[in-house]
Structure 1
Amino acid sequence: MAVTGLRAQDRIDRLARLVHHPDPSQLFFQIAEIAGEQTYLRHGIEVGPGDLVLDVGANVGVAAVFFAELCRASVVHSFEPVEPVCRLLRENVSGIGACVVHEQGLSDAARRTEITYYPGACAMSGLYADPARDRELVRTVLLNHGLSPEQARESLAGRYAPSMRNCELRTLSSFLAEHSIDRVALLKIDVERAEVDVLTGIDDADWSKLQQVVVEVHDEDGRAGALSAQLRARGFDVAGEQEAAMRGTAVRMLYARRP
């Protein structure tokens, strides 16, 4: 269910006032996608008062603030394992009582490891980052948005210089147990090719606690089909789509909800 009572531009303007970044250009497409196009509220997905949301791959908090302030979710647990990015996340959600920040990533096992951080493109940071591949993906997105090849080249210049950081990972099930959570209204996953790891970290007994799941999938080697089948086997109705901006890339969205 879409956020009612606000036009798309009003939603964008409101979120833009609440979320900040030293390089505002890194926020433009995120805010337009999450607030304007409401990418997480499609195919019957709903978030509202009383709901608990797990925001896995929170980045600097655009989705967290959207869920807490525009959807009025009661609790939003945001997971961001990259320390410089998590610092910006904390700043953006400070003063929002519904938001709880965890400087951790969710994965298939508990461990400490290295993660790639792109200071010039923090939303693309991740465990499976590849600078050349990631740059090409975003170049395609920019062209789909109407930029010329030259404009895209200039926009991407220097943004994909990787910096390796240590980070902490844990499983989703260990988090649910630690916090005695027995119902999750929405599990949102945007973790740059680590989505299979996140879902692998859910114990069989915990799947029934999840009411809705939205996953950004990098559909390589049939991943979207495999994850769709897994979610259906867990009792979800599943829909998939590719946003127009992602045309020509492997990025898809999966929307799963209990019937």
Structure 2
Amino acid sequence: MSTSDDSSGVATEIERTLRRYPGVARARVFRDAGGELVAQVLPWGTHAVTADQGVLAELAAVNMAETRFLHDEIFVDEVYLRGGIVLREDAVVFDVGANIGMFSLFVEARCPSAKVYAFEPVPEVHAKLQENIAERGLGTRAFNFGLSDREHDVSFYYYPDISIMSCRHDYTNWDNEVELIKRYVANERRNGPPGRAGHLAEVEGLAAKDFEFVECRCLLRPLSAVVDEVGVRAIDLIKIDAQRAEYDVLQGIEDRHWPLIQQISMEVHDEAGSPTEGRVEQVTARLDDQGFRVSVEVEEMLRGTGRYAVYAVRPGYDRDPRPVAAARSVDPGSVAGWLSGRLPADRLPDRVVVVDELSRPLQGHAS
């Protein structure tokens, strides 16, 4: 590495490139005490990612509190890979309720060969999704509409302060959302990792606010129409988090397309006295009728909030010959080799180091 190069500019270029490596959340490049140019890479899925303001700040996000929540839920807790759900090489994944794309990032980090179709109806949030896809070089294809039982325009309430609670106006249940926030904070204070007091206080503050919302018209379409248009021959996994509209998504699947679907991982709302009452029974009955092996789970912190996780796996999918994508470890040698194919030799770091926490550089820091 030529020492006459502009180290700051080179470091920035290397860092931007490294963020496109599957599984890398953030990179920091600097010269060490011996003058070597060192590239530190921090993988997704560590609590250090949540604690480091800079890591998640590099994502296009609506607000930081919910971005930390999404990272921990998807990367750390892996809530969508339970109940026997797996990611196979070359999987086709439908991300329904994609928000800013955290699950798409997760799939790419775990299984770079996967093809992801992401659906987000709220225009402001969809713009963040597209930005994250472009910045990270993901192959995800994003659609600015949601999925439902038929094609129609619906009024959505978009909450800029906490976009993950945005939903169709006819499914709004804010008291339930506030209770969920309070339980999450209490549980994380008791059982979560240290060093997150500021984050939890920020999340707790959301429950005390008088939330403002923006009403917008959003397009919803049936899943079967999308399958016909994109021409997929099989869907390995449908992840659904549609804020009380999950049964509507299933209603948009025609009988001819059900055999294409191998797995479904979804959050189901079943709240007494609301339009979603009885939904778990409806959902499981529909999945049973379609031949899936179904399991229902309730996290202890969500007990009493009417939130359930439903997992459905097609019998025989375990005999699919494609290997299951294991939890990926970011290997320094692989990262270095990958970089060498994307940067000129005089702009390559002398060393690549995978870390659990980014250290402060001695000099030449440019991140």
TM-score by length of 2: 0.64
Contact 1:118/1:160 (<8 A) preserved: yes
Shift of 1:175: 0.4
Unaligned stretches of 5+ residues in structure 1 = none
Q: Among all aligned residue pairs of Structure 1 and Structure 2, give the percentage whose two residues are the same amino acid.
A: 33
The answer to whether the 8 A contact 2:179-2:305 is kept is no
Look up the match of 1:116: 157
By how many angstroms is 1:27 displaced? Answer: 1.0
Give me the whole-angstrom Cα distance separating, in 2, the residues matched to 1:37 and 1:68. Answer: 17
Q: Deviations over 1:156-213 (max 9, x none)?
A: 3436322101111100000001111120000000000000110000001110010000
* Pairing of 1:218-229 with structure 2 (within 5 A): 218-220=269-271, 221-229=277-285
Spell out the pairing of 1:44-83 with structure 2 (5 A cutoff). Answer: 44-83=84-123
User: Runs in 1 of length 4+ with deviation above 6 angstroms?
Assistant: none
Amino acid aligned to 2:224: S
Match of 1:35 in 2: 75
How many Å apart are 1:44 and its aligned residue?
Answer: 1.5
Match of 2:240 in 1: 189
**Structure ranking higher on relative contact order (CA contacts 8 Å, 6+ apart):** 2
- Tell me how far apart the structure 1 counterparts of residues 262 and 58 of structure 2 sit (CA, whole Å): 28
Rounded to whole Å, the distance in 2 between the matches of 1:12 and 1:39 is 17
State the partner residue of 1:244: 300
Query: What is the CA distance between 1:40 and its match in structure 2?
Result: 1.0
Deviates more, 1:11-20 or 1:109-118: 11-20
Q: Which amino acid aligns with 1:113?
A: V
Mapped partners of 2:294, 2:58: distance in 1? 32
The residue aligned with 1:105 is: 146
What is the alpha-carbon distance in structure 2 between the residues aligned to residue 167 and residue 7 of structure 1? Answer: 32
CA distance in 1, matches of 2:140, 2:84: 24
Could you list the per-position Cα deviations for residues 207-231 of structure 1 after superposition, in whole angstroms to 9, with x for gaps in the alignment?
0010000110002322112211211
Larger Rg: 2
- Cα distance, 1:243 vs. partner? 1.9
Which of 175, 179, 186 is the equivalent residue of 2:226? 175
- Of 105, 125, 129 in structure 2, the residue corresponding to residue 85 of structure 1 is 125
State which of 286, 289, 306 in structure 2 corresponds to 1:230.
286
Q: Which runs of 5+ in 2 are unaligned?
A: 1-22, 24-42, 191-196, 272-276, 316-367
| 1:40 partner SS | coil
Structure 1 match to 2:181: 138
